[in-house]
Amino acid sequence: MTDATPLHIGIVACSAEGAALCYRTICAEAAPLLGAHAHPTVSLHGLSLADYVECLDRGDIAGVGELMLSSARALARAGAQLLICPDNTIHQAMSYVLPRSPLPWLHIAEVVAQEAAARGYRRLGLTGTRWLVESEVYPDKLGALGLEYRRPDAGQRARIGRLIMDELVYGRFEPATVAYFLEVIAGLQAQGCDAVVLGCTEIPLIVDDANSPLPTLDSTRLLARAALRRAIGGAPA
């Protein structure tokens, strides 16, 4: 338990399920550190997911960045001191966002890469939306730490993307969908991966260490925990 006032965390939301999981994780895991029922002040701002999807569909990363910045400014006005975004896909816009942001951010892929390195993993399988898996969001951060990665094939990326956007973001968790994700992860294991990045904030709702063929790196909860540590530790870098 600490007597210092934690930093105010701002969550830039994109999909509801992922943002909710991130928020719940911060609140649930703060009590052992701060005392019974205690957690940092948390504010959440989310524009319509449809606005993000429209930008992604036309490859407008600057447009994605402007949406993120709109939320960032709203959170700054609300008193937030540190920002996180529990959505891997829209981190493609971070190079646009960071120079223009009113507040500092934690980067989800950087947090995951650091955790992977700390656990001694060397080759990670990537899962997430097609937009995310085909981007350099994770390759850039993993490569900086000397970590390898493997992507699902093009057909798998397309099907996973559809399942995420048609089912998971709506809170639909079908047994056949769970089975397909596990099949893809088993394929990544066959390619020599020693862990899998759950690189969509909804995937941890259906895949975890209990059912996955590979150890999981839950990007949503890892980001929430990193934000909690930063908030309790003091002023962000």
Say if residue 235's pLDDT is above 60: no
**Tokens matching residue 146:** 């000397």
Pairwise pLDDT comparison (19 vs 2), residue with the higher score: 19
Q: What is the pLDDT of residue 4?
A: 80
Amino acid at site 231: A
Give start and end residues of each alpha helix (H) in 47-204. 49-57, 61-77, 94-97, 108-119, 130-133, 137-144, 154-166, 175-190
Q: What is the pLDDT of residue 201?
A: 85
For the chain, percent of residues with pLDDT exceeding 90: 93
**Mean pLDDT computed over 129-151:** 96
Residue 3: pLDDT band (50, 70, 90) is: low
The total number of residues shown for the chain amounts to 237
Could you read off the pLDDT of 73-130 as tens digits, one per residue? 999 999 999 999 999 999 999 999 999 999 999 999 999 999 999 999 999 999 999 9
Say if residue 43's pLDDT is above 90: yes
* Reported pTM: 0.93
The per-residue pLDDT of the chain, averaged, comes to 95
- Please report, for residues 1, 10, 75, 221, the alpha-carbon distance to residue 32 in angstroms, rounded to integers and kept in the order given: 7, 21, 26, 16
Please list the residues that pair with 136 across neighbouring strands: none
Could you read off the pLDDT of 167-224 as tens digits, one per residue? 998 989 999 999 999 999 999 999 999 999 999 988 999 999 999 999 999 999 999 9
